[in-house]
Amino acid sequence: MASSKRVLLGITGSIAAYRSLDIARLLRQEGHDIQMVATRSALRFFPRLNGEVFTGHPVYSDLFDAMGGGVRHIELADKSQIILIAPASADFIAKLALGLADDLLSTICLAATCPIVIAPAMEEKMYFHPAIQEHLKTLRARRVQEIPPEKGPLASGKEGVGRLPSPERILEAIQPSLNVSDAWSGIRVLVSAGPTYEPIDPVRFLGNRSSGKMGYALAREALSRGAAVTLVTGPTNIPPPVGARVFQIETAREMEENMHREFPSHDLCIMAAAVGDYRISSPTISKRKKDGKDWEILLCENPDILSGLSQKKKKGQFLVGFAAETEMEIPLLIGKATHKGVDILLANDVSRSGIGFSSDNNDLTLVTPSGEVLALGHDSKQVLAGRALDEIWNRWKPTAPNQVPKHE
């Protein structure tokens, strides 16, 4: 069970508001302290008294009623370790994106520094409206985490995307934030993950089999140690880790642009993405028609992002690369660590079944340019992410465990 956290559960005016009680119940069962704050319209769907009995705290709603002699919204913002808004209505999402503060819940969100997670629930047409999608994009860039709605029967009686996920699913999604320690507090970690897609034309691409699981596991592990995490990711099917700033890219050149922009403001960079080595020289703007002949497609080499970053590395920054090999030849790996300019290279054998690409398990070997070789073993990617971060920590700053080396 996670250590006890103070969770502020925000409830907004969606018909799913009554389901917040089940979320509160589950969080209480896990030992967390729940403070509910409901918007005025949420109270039309939500039984306030039941909420108070369930949580043992008043359910606050009005900015002015809640003052009670102190500055309640600041108090509530400061004492919360995570804010979960479930359900988040279209109106509330817009308010949050614009930074409006005309009620207690929106004001708390502006004053809070803890992670904010939203679980949108609304009719499908509203959810996919460009205005809401734009707001969600804005919020993602500000590290607000979305638990995407699910497909199912909606309040209108229609089937569609817009249902609030089950309390169990919501709990699973916020688990990393509930488990956070402060061992890596103040450390800024940049992780790349997933494959890159290189367009042939608007419908076809050249890609690779990377699932992104290893990179996402590293991002989650760094978050659970209290680090500020930025994830630059190629296309994957994995929900973005709660609390990370996430940039979604497709091509190697987009990944390069994002990594170079973010690298200077991070302390540790882990390049776990499977960057495509080649791209199509001249992708066509419209779909290439079948013509009964064989196609010749000219490929040109992509930039090596990792080598480019290592040339910009400042004192105190730490750079980790990955190597997906079909033959694990240690001297070659040491050579790769050296010529890529990394502090650590984590290598895995992708020819073995049950590990590597798209599997939940992996087998990692740590190699350094000075010739150190350490087997991290065969385990789940999440467990290996923990071991990898421990080893990174040991080599990066063995003498100053709570000090982030300054590089700016």
- The residues that are catalytic are 208
Q: Does 304 bind ligand C5P (CB under 6 A)?
A: yes
Measured from the CB atom, is 147 or 305 closer to ligand C5P? Answer: 305
What Å distances lie between residue 32 and 6, 241, 263, 292, CA to CA? 6, 20, 36, 64
| Residue 274 DSSP one-character state | B
Q: Judged by CB under 6 A, which of 119, 271, 385, 388 binds ligand C5P? A: 271
Q: Which residues pair with 329 in a beta bridge?
A: none
Three-state DSSP class for 187?
coil
For residues 208 to 247, the per-residue mask of contacts with ligand C5P, x marking binding by CB under 6 A and - elsewhere, is ----------------------------------------
Stretch in the footprint of ligand C5P (CB under 6 A) among 29-37, 46-54, 317-325, 361-369: 317-325
Contact yes or no for 193/233 (Cβ under 8 A): yes
Measured from the CB atom, is 132 or 273 closer to ligand C5P? Answer: 273
Q: Judged by CB under 6 A, which of 39, 80, 302, 348 binds ligand C5P? A: 302
φ, ψ of residue 93 to 5 degrees: the values are -60, -40
Q: Which two tokens stand for residue 212?
A: 């992104």
Q: Judged by CB under 6 A, which of 252, 268, 355, 388 binds ligand C5P? A: 252
Measured from the CB atom, is 211 or 302 closer to ligand C5P? Answer: 302
Residue 404's Cβ-count burial label (10 Å; 0-12, 13-18, 19+) is: middle
DSSP string, 385-406: HHHHHHHHHHHH-TT-TT-PPP
The CB-of-378 to ligand C5P minimum distance in angstroms stands at 20
Measured from the CB atom, is 145 or 210 closer to ligand C5P? Answer: 210
Q: Does 275 bind ligand C5P (CB under 6 A)?
A: yes
Contact yes or no for 365/391 (Cβ under 8 A): no
Say which residues have a Cβ less than 8 Å from residue 269's Cβ, sequence separation at least 6.
189, 190, 191, 259, 263, 309, 317, 318, 319, 320
Number of other residues whose CB lies within 10 A of the CB of residue 201: 14
Ranges assigned E (strand) in 326-380: 344-349, 361-367, 373-380
Stretch in the footprint of ligand C5P (CB under 6 A) among 110-118, 175-183, 204-212, 298-306: 298-306
Taking only Cα atoms into account, the Rg of the chain, rounded to an integer number of angstroms, comes to 23
The CB-of-320 to ligand C5P minimum distance in angstroms stands at 8
The CB-of-97 to ligand C5P minimum distance in angstroms stands at 32
Q: Judged by CB under 6 A, which of 218, 305, 355, 376 binds ligand C5P? A: 305
Stretch in the footprint of ligand C5P (CB under 6 A) among 45-53, 267-275, 374-382, 394-402: 267-275
* Relative orientation angle of helices 104-111 and 72-79, to the nearest 10 degrees: 50
For residues 43 to 72, the per-residue mask of contacts with ligand C5P, x marking binding by CB under 6 A and - elsewhere, is ------------------------------
Q: Which residues pair with 278 in a beta bridge?
A: 301
Binding residues for ligand C5P, per CB under 6 A? 252, 271, 273, 275, 277, 302, 304-306, 321-323
